[in-house]
Amino acid sequence: MNADLSKLRIEKWKADSSAKQQALENATSIQRNITAALPELVGAVRSAPQSLAANFKLYRNVNALYDVVANLAESTGAFGRREEYAGISPHVAALDDLRRSYADSLQQMAANADNTIIAAQRAQAAAAAQAPPPKKVIVDDNEPTTMAQKKKKTKKATASSSSAGTSTPQ
């Protein structure tokens, strides 16, 4: 694709300057993506093939790349030479096939992940149902005032008051 993009002579197209400018920006963006971003994303998927996050990032990139390549191919068909369009149009079809099959694959990965999560939740629920309930331990840091403590206080208070009021003769 990079070689076919370099063959485009956008500056010679029979179009207004804004259409040429947009086509040049699209071509530059595509080249930057396929030389920098795409290899990095593919490497991330290769290093973690079951990672939904890595696969989804790659899918989004392929989808965006398809949109820009399709737009450029449409402009090439409208303003460029036939040879230029013949060089870029197969890439549009290939990217479309790739993104559709990748979407199906990504959907299957997501369904498998969902099934794994559901199975784990069911196993956890079954284990929780079989386990005895935990014992409840109540810790009260405040000392309660009980009747025994009140009685001790009143006995001590009456004993000390009666000994203070009575004196023994000597």
Four-point Cα dihedral 107, 110, 112, 118, nearest 10? -140
Tell me which residues of the chain have a pLDDT lower than 70. 144-170
What pLDDT score was predicted for residue 153? 59
What pLDDT score was predicted for residue 127? 84
What pLDDT score was predicted for residue 31? 95
Rounded Cα distance between 82 and 76, Å, is 8
State pTM to two decimals.
0.69
The number of beta carbons lying within 10 Å of the beta carbon of residue 35 is: 10
CA distances from 145 to 18, 80, 149, 150, 158 (A): 88, 96, 7, 7, 19
Average pLDDT, the chain: 86
Q: Which residue has the tokens 């994303």?
A: 41
* Nearest-5° Cα angle at 60, 54 to 65: 125
Shortest CA distance to 95 belongs to which of 71, 68, 62?
62
